[in-house]
Amino acid sequence: MTTFVLLSKVSQAGVRDMKSLATLDRELDEQIKAQNLKVKRLASYALLGAYDFLHIFEAPDARTATKVALIANAFGVTTTQTLTAIPFDEFREIAEEMPKRGS
């Protein structure tokens, strides 16, 4: 499974009805289950800053992660950015495989 980060920014329509955002989070889970997506949510946070929410989840591939983002966007109250998260130990292994500068 690959780890993905879904960053969400609430639109002006969403800001007008903040209470519904908690309900939408449950609906997101329901839609993921209804579509039988093999996704495991690892963590979710409300943020202070450029984005309003952060969801960290595992999915088998980028295609599945894209479906999660499309479901989230279909509610019409957020825009999202989805990123692949590489565990740092794995990144370190990749970096160590790179040729040294000047070699």
Give kind and range of the element (H or E) at residue 96.
Answer: helix 88-97
Q: Where are the beta strands (DSSP E) in 1-103?
A: 2-10, 40-46, 53-59, 78-85
Domains and CATH numbers, the chain: 2-97 (3.30.70.1060)
pLDDT in tens, 10-35: 876 666 666 677 788 889 999 999 99
Predicted confidence (pLDDT) at residue 76 exceeds the cutoff of 90: no
- The stretch 38-51 carries a mean pLDDT of 94
Q: Is 2:59 a contact under the CB 8 Å cutoff?
A: yes
Q: CA 34 to CA 19: how far, in whole Å?
A: 24
Q: What is the model's pTM?
A: 0.84
